Amino acid sequence: MEKEKPIGVFDSGIGGLTVVKRLSSVLPRESIVYFGDTARVPYGSKSNSTVIDYSIQDSAFLLKKNVKAVVVACNTASSIAIPELRKKFDVPVIGVILPGADMAVKETRNKRIGVIGTRATINNQAYSKAIKEIDNKIEVFEKACPLFVPIAEEGWTHHRATYEIAEEYLKELREKNIDTLVLGCTHYPILADVIQEIIGKGVKLIDSGIATAEVVRNEIDRIGLETNSAVPGNLDLYVSDIPTTFKKVAELFLGKNVNEVVKVDIEELHKI
Ligand code: DGL
């Protein structure tokens, strides 16, 4: 039964659980298989070819779990690997960049949008290209904020250091008179309170996970693969390593308790 297959989601680590959280609230009856590449995180500082190789392996693992669609929760992988994944796999592959860009374009009034993300996402200008493709009159101001990833994993959602680092990263953007800011990294929604306070209350924050969940719903509806199940879907979690802080961080990202997590050897699976 195609309809009863789960939706696959992968990320470089556990940050993608922020996207799973959004998906589960939009599509509560769909089952989800999540793969977090915790042994090889971060992707945000790796070369494009490495990110593409890893993304192909991560997707191939999800396909082995019989998923009906692949959601690339990782902004870095979404900004680099989507064309390759679409070439290689014949299920819908949905990234977070286009939905996030689209939502930002709908939201801005003054046509000045800020984007924050990992170095790779910002260096690839993934969001600014996507935004300008929709409306080339919009000005986009991008800033890499690499320290936000370890801070979110540390659970420092309202720590003094978080305010200081956010102040340092966001001061340039504050001077650009933006009215919309894209949180272009899986981890950043965890730090939304601090980011909002520092960038200013008048700036609308865009959580790409929310936008992506809507796109996934529309896509599986369009292809007629929405589940018929009447009960809440399962969440199966797979990772390539189980860090000591996994449970704490996963629960912070997901906002609820997590069950058993299964470790897989992602490189072994792809050896010929
Ligand atoms: N998941 C990554 C992203 O959304 C952040 C962590 C990493 O650098 O791998 O870009």
Q: Which residue among 50, 52, 75, 82 is best mutated to probe the pocket of ligand 1, counting the most ligand atoms within 8 A of its Cβ?
A: 75
pLDDT given for residue 247 in this prediction: 84
Q: What is the pLDDT of residue 246?
A: 84
pLDDT score, position 212: 97
What pLDDT does 164 receive?
Answer: 98
Coil, strand or helix: which one is 153?
A: helix
186 C-alpha to ligand 1 centroid (Å): 6
CA distance 156 to 150: 9
Q: Can you give the pLDDT of all 272 residues of the chain as single tens digits?
A: 899 999 999 999 999 999 999 999 999 999 999 999 999 999 999 999 999 999 999 999 999 999 999 999 999 999 999 999 999 999 999 999 999 999 999 999 999 999 999 999 999 999 999 999 999 999 999 999 999 999 999 999 999 999 999 999 999 999 999 999 999 999 999 999 999 999 999 999 999 999 999 999 999 999 999 999 999 999 999 999 988 888 888 988 999 888 789 999 998 877 65
Evaluate: CB of 37 within 6 angstroms of ligand 1: no
H helices present in the chain, as ranges: 17-26, 48-64, 75-88, 97-107, 119-123, 126-134, 148-153, 160-174, 192-199, 208-222, 246-254, 266-269
Ligand 1 nearest atom to the CA of residue 45, by list position: 8
C-alpha 240 to ligand 1 mean position (Å): 15
What is the DSSP secondary-structure string of 102-118? HHHHHH-SSSEEEEEE-
Q: What is the DSSP letter of 33?
A: E
d(C-alpha 232, C-alpha 255), whole Å:
17
Catalytic residues: 74, 185
Element (H, E) at 261: strand 261-263
Q: Compute the distance from residue 121 Cα to the ligand 1 centre, in Å.
A: 9
Residues 6+ apart with CB under 8 A from 114: 140, 141, 142, 143, 173, 176, 178, 180, 181, 182, 199, 203
44 lines ligand 1 (CB under 6 A): yes
pLDDT for 268 equals: 80
pTM over 0.85: yes
Report the pLDDT value the prediction gives residue 187, as an integer from 0 to 100: 96
Query: Which pLDDT score, from 0 to 100, does residue 267 have?
Result: 83
* Amino acid 121: pLDDT: 95
